[in-house]
Structure 1
Amino acid sequence: MTALPDAHGPKRSWWKSNQQKLTPWLFLAPGIFMFAVYVVWPIFASFQFSFYDWDGLSPKEWVGWGNYQELWGDRNFIISLKNNLIWLVLYMLAVPAGLGIAIFLNQTVSGIRIYKSLFFFPFVISQVVVGLMFAWFYAPNFGLFFQLTEWLFGTGTAVLANPDYATYGIIVAGLWPQIAYCMILYLTGLNNVAPDQIEAARLDGAKGLKMLWYVVLPQLRPATFIAVVVTVIGALRSFDLVSIMTNGGPFGQTRVLSFYMYEKALSEYGYRMGYGAAIAVVLFLIMMVFIAGFVWKMVRDERGH
């Protein structure tokens, strides 16, 4: 005699019952683990180390807020912070410049693919290569910029050797690939602009700047948000170009917070891990202020719609 099946059907296993809920988390688990180990844990570790006097090898010595108090009397930290603010202000030029180039390239004319490739080129090359190219561009005696200023004014300008100009020269080098990145974001956004809204605006007589301001830019908000956030982060973590082009010189006038953190914590001039961690915490908090502000504005705008 065979057993009758359960009135509710065969009992499903726990995995079968929760498979749809658990499968996405299983795919996300490796990424979450890597993010926690290499991003989240170092952030909390930096906060912890910033309260110690530590060279990375010897036993840690608790100093409380001593590292932070020392920062505000450190001339090199103040210079680095000021340079980061200059980077932040001037780096924002990448956003409107990228938008302008994207609008120019978003045309259906012959040869436009060649122009797109030329403008896209800075984005695909390494920052190290960019730094070397501009270091040669600014080089005394044989650099193109030096020769151009010598031809125009009679005396060549060695940009990277001048404490007043060096930071701005590095920022120009950084803007070259950053503008290309913003251009790519805006080109993608322009491809998603609703053509029916463009046609309706044309019928109402909108054109030129009015079309751009009232019709196109509102639809480019997601691209603008990403461009601004990435540009802010790029301005605040500008380590590689400074390291390649000037190594913080001349006379330490081109230091930024990320480079000064490296100098104090990991280079032969410092080995002060606790002090470097305090600089990293200050840099992190500055980033979070800007990013939190952008996220808050984006959420508020989305709720407004």
Structure 2
Amino acid sequence: MTEAVAHKRVSRRPNRLKLAPWLFLAPGLLMFLIYVLVPIVESFWISFHDWDGLGAMSWIGMGNYVELLDDDTFYVSLWNNLLWLVLYLLSIPAGLAVALFLNQNVAGIRIYKSMFFFPFVISQVVVGLIFTWFYAPGFGPLSVFLEWLTGDEIAILADERYVTYGIILAGLWPQTAYCMILYLAGLNNINSEQVEAARMDGAKGFSMLWHVILPQLRPATFIALVVTVIGSLRSFDLVSIMTAGGPYGSSQVLSYFMYEQALSEYGYRMGYGASIAVVLFLIMMVFITFFITRMLNQERNI
């Protein structure tokens, strides 16, 4: 009898070992289901309705998407998001350059690290206010410098030609700091033996960086790419603080356009706002899927 009980206990142990990871994952999976997957499905469902957020929903099928394709503001927002995406990627090489500069043992390097780390810890709202002052006509440092250089006063945030570039520049400041942190963490895990072997083979400078350092920084680069792409496509805070989509809607992005249609005084068009959110979600999924697929293929080829 004792041997039978012992055999049952031994047979149950593998099942317990299989169950244990799922018990630890369960709270996170439940939160992911409630706060991520369910809202995504609901957004798709709401986008097929005309709804003000309070009354009964009215089914209109693809009506919101048809209207979206005829909306000039949608194309302005989409173009601005593409600008954000392309120019925001500059934060990755900039963050790498700063990380390489800070990854050395010299006097006072901790002070420099703190200075470059500072933009990452402050709020996007504060960043927006700082750059609004920086661009302000008459007394803003950049405005004064441009007036001295060209003889004309340029109101960057009030000029349709420059406003989007001005906001993107503001966003690059904290994003570069974030990429810098990722690369600093990656540089701390560099295999020193490979670096020494490369030096013995005569590698140095750009050759060392390209053939030895960067291949070992692929995980950091992947995370930086994904986070930067997501940040560029969202880009809500700075637009809201610095211009509220102006002047004349020229700095609109999809996330702010969605907010303006769904939750502002423009009409509380939840269905139309949800259709914008769905388009933004699909764009994000395309880019993220592309990066993940490419990284997996590279890992398989190694």
Under a length normalisation based on structure 2, what TM-score does the superposition of the two structures give?
0.96
Cα deviations by residue, 1:243-296 (Å, 9 ceiling, x for unpaired): 000000000100000000000111111311111111000000000000000000
Contact 1:88–1:236 (CA<8 Å) still a contact in 2? yes
1:265 is aligned to 262
Q: Name the CA distance, whole Å, in 2 between partners of 1:7 and 1:223.
A: 53
**1:242 aligns with one of 236, 239, 244:** 239
Spell out, residue by residue over 1:109-130, the C-alpha distance to the aligned partner (whole angstroms, 9 max, x if none).
1111111110010001111110
Paired residue for 1:129, among 117, 122, 126?
A: 126
Counterpart in the other structure of 1:231: 228
TM superposition shift of 1:108: 1.2
The reply on whether 1:53 has 2:45 as its aligned counterpart is no
Report deviation, 1:15: 7.9
CA contact (8 A) 1:140 1:146 kept: yes
Query: Quick check: 1:19 aligned with 2:12?
Result: no
The equivalent residue for 1:303 is 300
Q: Which residue of 1 aligns with 2:90?
A: 93
Give the corresponding residue for 2:154: 157
Q: What is the TM-score normalised by the length of structure 1?
A: 0.95
Displacement of 1:8: 5.0
1:229, 1:294 within 8 Å by CA — same for their partners in 2?
yes
- Shift of the alpha carbon at 1:20? 2.6
Task: Give the alignment partner of residue 285 of structure 1, picking from 282, 287, 292.
Answer: 282
Which residue does the alignment assign to 1:294?
291
The correspondence for 1:28, drawn from 25, 28, 32, is: 25
Percent identity, please: 67
Check 1:38–1:134 CA distance in 2 against 1; reply closer, same or farther (3 A cut). same
CA-CA distance at 1:236 after TM superposition? 0.1
Partner of 1:84: 81
CA RMSD in angstroms, aligned pairs only: 1.6
Residues 200-252 of structure 1 deviation map (CA, whole Å, 9 limit, x = unaligned):
11111111111111111111100000001100000000000000000000001
Distance 1:37 1:14 in 2: 35
- Once residues 47 and 285 of structure 2 are traced to their aligned partners in structure 1, the CA distance between those partners, rounded to angstroms, is 18
Aligned letter for 1:197?
Q
Which ranges of structure 2 fall in alignment gaps of 5 or more residues?
none
* Partner of residue 61, structure 2: 64
Q: Secondary structure at the match of 1:55?
A: coil
Unaligned runs of 5+ in 1: none
Q: What is the Cα deviation at residue 6 of structure 1?
A: 4.2
TM alignment of 1:69-218, pairs within 5 A = 69-218=66-215
Per-residue deviation, 1:17: 6.2
Change in CA separation of 1:50 and 1:13 when aligned onto 2, cut-off 3 Å:
farther
